[in-house]
Amino acid sequence: MALSRLEKAQTWLWKAVMGLLYGLFRLLSPRSPAVSRRLPAVSNPLLAVSAMQLAQKIRRREVCPPPRFNVFMVTYLLCSHTAHVFAAALQEAAQVDKLIEEETGGEEVLEDRLPLLGVPLSVKESFALQGMPNSTGVISRRGVLATVDAPPVALLKRAGAIPLGVTNTSELCMWSESHNHLYGITNNPYDLERIPGGSSGGEGSILAAAGSVIGIGSDIGGSIRMPCFFNGIFGHKTTPGVVSNENQYPPSSGRHEDYLSAGPMCRYAEDLLPMLSIMAGPNAHMLSLSTKVDLKKLRFFSIPHDGGSRFTSPVNKQLLQIQRKVVERLEADLGVKVQEVHLPGLRYSFQIWDTYMTLPDKEGKPPQAFVELMGEPGRPVWPLWELLKWMMGRSEHTMAAIGLALVEMSHASKPVPFFIQQNEKLRKEVEELLGTDGVLLYPTHPNMAPKHHHPLFRPFDFAYTGILNILGLPVTQCPLGLSEEGLPMGVQVVAGKLQDRLPLAVAVYLEKAFGGWRDPGAK
């Protein structure tokens, strides 16, 4: 659907304002030294195997856990870890041999009881990991340590995974770049001058660099999928309500619990399903993950772009081309017909996400104000005052957080009925389209990993992921090789509610067809 003249004028004005703000930002921002370093290539073959394969080697004593990860070099270059427990990890690893010796039921019993035995695990810092920081990059929360494990973290540890530490996030987990004034800015392993995404950017970065084997992220607007896309790894946004969101910071408020999902992040597709089965705990039965998926019996759909929203950038030609290649491979390999569809409501993806994120819960209580979270444990911050302080280099908050606080000030007291209607119409269309056997291909983001701070001037491009949170759908992020610039490309694979096993199965296929994760140091 073409844009009207008014919408074209608004689009032009928006881009002009963003261009002006970008110029001012460059003028006022402190200059950082140029970074010419790159990551070393993965030299240890154990770093190039999946978690399932590594656990098997450990159970068979073909390798002593954990394998030697170049974590210190990776962490130094990427600024991905915020705190580590390497000493404790080594102590836990020393107990693995003892567990193997004491198991009298053989390897199969050990695999059933401890499927991730000895596998290194990194954890997004917003999840509680006992004894580790739980600040989400807020300086006023410096020194706050988790006293318990978040349920999915506890389940992964109970399955034998060994935590290495916690990884960086955006401030309060509400931005597409993992940057805060407590830990600094995280780099993309494929290009250190580019972003790894957010808010699970530390996870995406360390996993892509082979500094960890598996990780855990959370997603309320794309915070698993964007980092996985920008860093060329796999990730899964689970159907909401399956994996527990307890003991995360910030806690859910308003209707956020309906849109927030925790899920696995990893380099290899075969690790997604067993990780999700563990993380779901008592709710795993809801997903029927043990049911075999026959890809030839699925119905496939493809949507190449959002239809021309004035808030989002046009989709990069290379991403359009790689999605077409996926369609061609599916049709050639599986004998299926991939139908291209267009849903007009996707043009309003950002407005729908923004509207629903401000709705009150069932008891009428609105979400906790972002200015309150920024100011905790003290008083709420004043966004305009913080902006002035930032311009003078005195604010404890990032420009992204201050900008979000300013946007919050502009919200109407009541939701716009039009966007509620558009969402209900879109929800019905998508549910009818996908049913229980449909799979949809949809871009993750209009562009490959942007350079640092550039998302400030394209703030709504996350709408490609955010709309799927509001629709409550499971999504698997799949890498599809590298662009001409050597940056990861990928696609979202979407299914109907509770049909998580479908995109997980497609991910395994796409890994074989397009090569999956690529070593960033081997370019």
How far apart are alpha carbons 42 and 48 in whole angstroms? Answer: 8
Fill in the amino acid letter for 270: E
Q: Please, what sign has the CA dihedral across residues 70, 73, 78, 81?
A: positive
Q: Is 124 a catalytic residue?
A: yes
Q: Is 229 exposed, middle or buried (0-12, 13-18, 19+ CB in 10 A)?
A: buried
Q: Is 223 a catalytic residue?
A: yes
Contacts of 218 (CB under 8 A, 6+ apart): 124, 126, 127, 173, 199, 200, 224, 245, 248, 260, 261, 262, 263
CA nearest 403: which of 469, 357, 463, 457? 457
How far apart are alpha carbons 493 and 509 in whole angstroms? Answer: 12
User: CA of 161: how far to CAs of 94, 153, 419, in Å?
Assistant: 13, 9, 43
User: CA of 49: how far to CAs of 210, 476, 506, in Å?
Assistant: 10, 20, 20
Residue 427 tokens, joined? 């929800």
Q: Is 32 a catalytic residue?
A: no
- Among residues 126, 170, 176, 223, which one is catalytic? 223
**Whether 80 contacts 69, CB under 8 Å:** no
For residue 265, the cross-strand partners are 215, 235
Helix (H) or strand (E) holding 418: helix 417-434
- Among residues 199, 277, 309, 349, which one is catalytic? 199
Helix (H) or strand (E) holding 72: helix 71-78
Residue 326 tokens, joined? 């996926």
**Whether 491 contacts 502, CB under 8 Å:** no
- Among residues 80, 124, 302, 309, which one is catalytic? 124
CA nearest 303: which of 438, 198, 425? 438
**3-class DSSP assignment, residue 288:** coil
Residue 227: how many other CB atoms lie within 10 Å? 37
Instruction: List active site positions.
Output: 124, 199, 223
